[in-house]
Each structure stands twice: as C-alpha cells, then as structure tokens.
Amino acid sequence: MPPVVQLQDIHRIYANGEVQVHAVRGISLDIHKGEFIAIMGASGSGKSTLMNTLGCLDRPTGGRYLLDGVDVSNLGRNERANIRNQKLGFVFQGFNLLARTSALENVELPMLYAPRRISSQEMRERAMHALEIVGLARRHDHLPNQLSGGQQQRVAIARALVNRPQILLADEPTGNLDSKTSVEVMGVFQKLNDEGITIVMVTHELDIAHYCKRNLIVRDGVIVRDELVKDRLIAGEELLKLHQAEAAAKLTAASP
C-alpha cells in the first residue's frame, strides 16, 4: 500500500523583504496509514512550517507533496481549501472553537463547507456520532465557555473527525492543558489511532511524545532523528496510576 503522505525534498523559504529565511531545508518523509507520529523541535526549528505544509495551509517553495497519491504542492487557494476540508482534520493548541456556539454546531462547521451539500439531518447525525466518539454526546448543546479545557479539545477533535479525514493533524494539542487532562486527550488520540486513523502531532513535551508510535526531531529545517518509540506509554494505564496516586494522597491527608 502506498504511503498516505509522501514529502520529497521539501523546501520553504520566507522572503521577508531583503532577508530570506530558509525555514525548511529539504525534508523527505513517508507517512503510512495507521501511523501515530510526534514531531518535536525547539521553536524556530521549522516544525510549525512543516506542519503548515502537511496541512495544506502553506505551499512549499521547493519539492513535492503527494497526499493520497495526488500532488498537492501546486494547488490554488480554493483547491487546497477543499483538500483541508475533505482529507485533513485540524486540532489546535488553543482549541479554536467558535465562541457562543454550541458544541454540536461547532462540529457541524466543516460539513457546511463541504464541496457537496449535506442535508441538515445528516449533518446533525454525523456531528452527534463524532461527539459520541470523543465521549461528549451528552454535552452537545453546551457552549465552549461551559466546557472544561479538555472537553473543549475533545469537541475540536470531534470537529476534525467529522468529515472522515485521511490524517488528523494536531498542533500542540495538549499545550493549554494540565498534565492529567493532557493524558486524557492523548487517550482519545490513542483510541482513534487504534481504530486506524493516521495522526500527526507537533509537541515539545517529551512525555506526551511517548504516547505516539514514532518520533521525529526537527532542527534547523531538517529531520535530525526519526525513531520508533520503544517504551510507549498507554494513556489508560497512566490514568489508572494517576488515580491510584490521588487516592493514596487523599488517604495520607485524611489520616491524623
């Protein structure tokens, strides 16, 4: 089976007036179906540019990007919008839900921009199904400010899933969450990955990267390390440990 993503010698140069910034200097990468990749790197390493390229938000200045076997490196603005809508799902660090809009309507949003018109009944059913996957179906009518950070990120994941994308792209998905909620969100990603969804995420937290299957480290616009995770963490087990630790702490606090 051909890889879902093939990057061939990708370059990205930002021309800021006189100064040229060479953010990505020749990255080649294959991503196969069912992979779960963490891209790591310091700020300025080029990992965000790589992510924007993968997400078809940005166009490489050199090299080829084949998504699902189709060259998308030279598509126009609206064609890339269609690719983002149909083949990619985005999860952001700041959740980026529409304020004063119910969880359900937030999840329906990508379907409103689908190239083919979707009936409002089908939109509702698919949005409810996506919310069920992330365990928030009962809170479908809640507004973002009535949900916790972890719940908001799960709504964002449901939104990313609703058009059945080829890849789920997550940019620092746990960056705004506390450690326990981060583990919960990683649990959602692991569950989705177990069901066969390909996930690529950017993170700078090493322990979060350990929940993934493959880690890439980017420095100065090139991949300097590409390795499989050996002692992979499983979110379910980690949460159990956290609960036990909490219970123990309570017992200690309760005893005189």
Partner 1 sequence: MRLVATTVIALRALRRNKMRSVLTALGMIIGVGAVIALVSIGNGAKLQVEASVASLGQNVISVYPGSVSTSGARGGWGSASTLTPDDALAIQREIAGVVAVSPETRDRAQVLANGLNWNTTVFGESPDFTSIRAWDLSEGAMFTEADVRSAAKIAVIGQTIADQVFPGSAPVGQTLRIRNIPFKVVGVLRSKGFNYFGTDQDDAVIVPYTSAMRRIARRTTVNTLLIQALAPEQMFRIQQETTDLLQQRRAGRDPDFTVRNQLELAQVATANARNMTALLGAIASVSLIVGGIGIMNIMLVSVTERTREIGIRLAIGAHDHDIRLQFLLEAMVLSLMGGALGILLGVGASQLVAQLNGWPTLVSMPAVIGAFLFSGAVGILFGFYPAHKAAQLDPIEALRFE
- Count CB-CB contacts under 10 A for residue 38: 24
- For partner 1, the closer of residues 76 and 196 by Cβ is 76
Least distance in angstroms from the C-beta of 166 to partner 1 = 14
Pairwise CA distance, residues 159 & 149, whole Å: 15
Q: Total residues contacting partner 1 (rule CB under 8 A)?
A: 28
- For partner 1, the closer of residues 110 and 150 by Cβ is 110
In degrees, to the nearest 5, what angle opens at C-alpha 97 toward C-alphas 165 and 214?
Answer: 45
Q: Out of 27, 159, 214, 235, which residue is the one contacting partner 1 (CB under 8 A)?
A: 159
- For partner 1, the closer of residues 112 and 240 by Cβ is 112
Least distance in angstroms from the C-beta of 151 to partner 1 = 18
**Under rule CB under 8 A, which residues in 67-126 are in contact with partner 1?**
77-78, 81-82, 84-86, 90, 92, 96, 98-101, 105, 109-110, 112-114, 117, 120
> What single-letter amino acid sits at 251?
L
Least distance in angstroms from the C-beta of 70 to partner 1 = 16
Least distance in angstroms from the C-beta of 218 to partner 1 = 18
**Under rule CB under 8 A, which residues in 51-70 are in contact with partner 1?**
52, 55, 57-58
Least distance in angstroms from the C-beta of 133 to partner 1 = 18
**Ordered DSSP codes for 63-129:** EEEEETTEE-TT--HHHHHHHHHHHEEEE-TT--PPTTS-HHHHHHHHHHT-SS---HHHHHHHHHH
Q: Does residue 176 touch partner 1 according to CB under 8 A?
A: no
Residues linked to residue 218 through DSSP beta bridges, in sequence order: 223
Length of the chain (residues): 256
In the numeric block, which tokens belong to residue 4? Answer: 């879902």
- For partner 1, the closer of residues 136 and 160 by Cβ is 160
- For partner 1, the closer of residues 85 and 190 by Cβ is 85
- For partner 1, the closer of residues 106 and 203 by Cβ is 106
- For partner 1, the closer of residues 70 and 249 by Cβ is 70
Least distance in angstroms from the C-beta of 34 to partner 1 = 24
Q: Which residues contact 223 (CB under 8 A, 6 or more apart)?
A: 27, 29, 216, 217
Pairwise CA distance, residues 170 & 188, whole Å: 12
Pairwise CA distance, residues 248 & 74, whole Å: 57
Distances from the Cα of 242 to the Cα of 76, 180, 249, 250, angstroms: 48, 8, 10, 12
What residue ranges bind partner 1 (CB under 8 A)? 52, 55, 57-58, 77-78, 81-82, 84-86, 90, 92, 96, 98-101, 105, 109-110, 112-114, 117, 120, 159, 163
